Amino acid sequence: MGKPSLFSGRSTSRHRIRAARELNVSHSTVLRRIEQFETILGSKLFKKLQRGYELTAAGEQLYENGQSIEINIDQLLSQAEGHHDVTQGKLRISQPEIGILNIYPLYAEFKRQHPDITLEIQSTMAAHNLAQQEVDIVLRFSEQPPELLVGRLIGTVKAKAYASKHYLKQLPKNHTSKDYDWIQWQRPKSVPASNWVKDNILNPRIVFRTPHMPDVVSAILSGIGVGFMSSHEAAQHKSLVELFDGEIIATYPLWMLTHRDLRNSERVTTFMRFMAENLHLD
């Protein structure tokens, strides 16, 4: 539950209109209902200021209590959904960025087999919170998944160094790794592949940096330089050449997980079973 819409100084009118739109009523009706609610409670929830509306102490307390109530309601609804023995409805899935793992062909096959299930896919390296019901299933890189989650280890994604055939043709005939232009994947946390470059290449020439793996893949395919990507993704591009004798630079265990409250959901178990049988990484 977000901060009350009639809150935020100079942008109060905009938030009031947005709240009215979400409730499908006029903004004057929103104000009137707040006043009615305050009358029932016998307590003021908002202070009207020149710059807009501000929560009172009672309003702040109600907001904090409401957050915990909403989380409990979401969990109860999730538990109830988890006991529905149906293979239809919405299934929210969080997966790694495209360029690390392309499983859309499997999504297509799953949809052919289960046309009544709607897939909502979020491609991100951020960790969605299953405990707060942000998604139903996550495909997550982890050495040890959280205790509240259940699932299985799908396999290991291997990172290797690649360059395009076009890029390599432009290098000197007797080139070495010192001649490479490097493409770097910037992540908030330390990336083993980036550390490998520092440890093995003297004064590496970094020519391209990006925080997004799809951009790394595009840069390698475009002939900008050498970079690291998953062998699973690289296998789909015939124009790429595996470097350093196919040395595995880093490995990332991939888990498929759901919240334990959803372990009896037919939608969830059907999808997880399908992926376990059809997604092959090793």
| Domains identified in the chain and CATH numbers | 9-82 (1.10.10.10), 89-148+256-278 (3.40.190.10), 157-252 (3.40.190.10)
Alpha-carbon torsion 139, 261, 144, 187, what sign?
positive
Residue 179, judged by CB atoms within 10 A of its CB (0-12, 13-18, 19+), counts as exposed
- pLDDT at position 195, please? 82
Give yes or no for a contact between 78 and 133, defined as CB atoms under 8 angstroms apart.
yes
Q: Which positions ≥6 away from 35 have C-beta within 8 Å?
A: none
Give yes or no for a contact between 228 and 159, defined as CB atoms under 8 angstroms apart.
yes
Helix ranges restricted to H, the chain: 12-23, 27-41, 57-82, 104-113, 165-169, 192-200, 213-221, 231-234, 266-278
Buried b / exposed e across 132-147, counting CB within 10 Å, b at 16+? ebebbbbbbbeeebee
- pLDDT at position 192, please? 64
Give yes or no for a contact between 227 and 183, defined as CB atoms under 8 angstroms apart.
yes
Q: What is the pTM of this model?
A: 0.65
The one-digit pLDDT tens for each residue of the chain (282 residues) are 444 443 333 334 455 556 656 666 676 777 777 777 778 777 787 777 766 667 787 777 777 776 666 656 655 555 555 444 556 789 999 998 888 888 999 999 999 999 999 999 998 877 766 666 688 999 998 888 887 789 999 999 999 999 999 999 999 999 999 999 999 998 755 556 668 888 899 899 999 999 999 999 999 999 999 999 999 999 999 999 999 999 999 899 999 999 888 878 889 999 999 999 999 886
For residue 65, the tally of other CB atoms under 10 A from its CB is 10
- pLDDT at position 71, please? 58
Coil, strand or helix at 250:
strand
